Amino acid sequence: MEGHYEKLNKKLDKLLERQKQTPHLDRKQQQNFHPCTINLTNITFTKEEQALLDLGLQYNIQQPLKKYWTNLILETEKAIRLLETREQNAFRIMATKKLKQMYNTNHNTHNIYKRQHILKNINHKLTNENAMITLADKSKATVIIYKHDYAKNVHTFLTDNDFHTLPDNPTNKDQTRIQKTMQPNHPETTHKISNTNPPRQ
């Protein structure tokens, strides 16, 4: 059993090594895409800051290994105990090898701390200039904009599209009507589909 998984691990390692060796396209061959970051402010960012912003709002900076190491070991053991008893030791051996490999590979730690420092610099610049980061309206681009400009754009959009403020929140009345309609015919499911604590704006 262990030999089978050793073969699979070797295949995976070979594939990863081959991927690293694959030559990248020249700049002339690369496609031109829309900008990842649209800066509508006068704030200037360094190349490193710009590269981090271009990763997008969905990007999550990895935490240093020591912050989640103990939890990772416990979760691995918990997952192994869900397997059949005769298979558990084989998976423990494999997991131990992989965990040791992760622990001994510390070359990413420097990059993690560096990116956290870059992120702090970006936040500092945004705070000082009263700016913010948001998602573009019709693309996945990251937009950097002054907060007052953002508020003005939202106000303009609401005004131009004839939005108006309601005198009171109609949600509670709607919920009551739904419950009264549902109660006689489906009393057992009424509580499941009705929102007992509707959001208020």
DSSP string computed for the chain: -HHHHHHHHHHHHHHHHHHHHSPPPPTTTSPP---SEEE-SS----HHHHHHHHT-TT--PPPPHHHHHHHHHHHHHHHHTTS-HHHHHHHHHHHHHHHHHHHH--HHHHHHHHHHHHHHHHHHHHHHTTEEEEE-SSSS-EEEEEHHHHHHHHHHHHHHTT----SS--HHHHHHHHHHHHTTT-HHHHHHHS-SS----
Question: What is the chain's mean pLDDT, rounded?
Answer: 79
pLDDT of residue 41: 93
pLDDT of residue 26: 55
pLDDT of residue 148: 94
Highest mean predicted confidence (pLDDT) among 53-57, 74-78, 170-174, 178-182: 74-78
Burial class (CB in 10 A: 0-12, 13-18, 19+), 131: buried
pLDDT confidence tier of residue 12, bands split at 50, 70 and 90: confident
Cα separation, 102 vs 100, whole angstroms:
5
pLDDT tens for residues 153-176?
Answer: 999 988 888 888 888 888 878 877
Mean pLDDT of 30-58: 83
pLDDT confidence tier of residue 190, bands split at 50, 70 and 90: low
Share of the chain above pLDDT 70, in %: 74
Share of the chain above pLDDT 90, in %: 20
Sheet containing strand 131-135, edge to edge, reads 37-39, 142-146, 131-135
pLDDT confidence tier of residue 187, bands split at 50, 70 and 90: low
Mean pLDDT of 73-97: 90
The pTM of the whole model exceeds 0.95: no
Contacts of 19 (CB under 8 A, 6+ apart): none
